[in-house]
Amino acid sequence: MQLGTRWSSGDEPPAAVPAALRAQIAAVDRLLPADQLAHQPTPRWTLTWLEGRPIAELDTGVIVSLDADGEAVVRKDDDTGIS
């Protein structure tokens, strides 16, 4: 069994976050507009595991996961209710 974890956007991901996801997570963090974040709580990442694969989801609905080839991919969850 693998446990998930949470951390704030912009912080160093915990050791439990696989190296394969780290570069894309950092890229997403760099894209968050600083002026927007100044007026809202810092979004947090949640690492979970589905069928042995890591999935990191940001509170904003951005998801970083591994594809079938083990490459990190970034997508937006369109079912977040965030507009």
In a domain, 82, yes or no: no
pLDDT of residue 15: 93
In a domain, 81, yes or no: no
pLDDT of residue 40: 77
Domain ranges, residue 30: 5-76
In a domain, 29, yes or no: yes
Encode pLDDT of 21-78 as tens digits.
Answer: 999 999 999 998 766 556 778 899 999 999 889 999 999 999 999 998 999 999 998 7
Residue 83 has pLDDT above 50, yes or no: no
Burial class (CB in 10 A: 0-12, 13-18, 19+), 7: middle
Q: What is the pTM of this model?
A: 0.83
Number of domains in the chain: 1
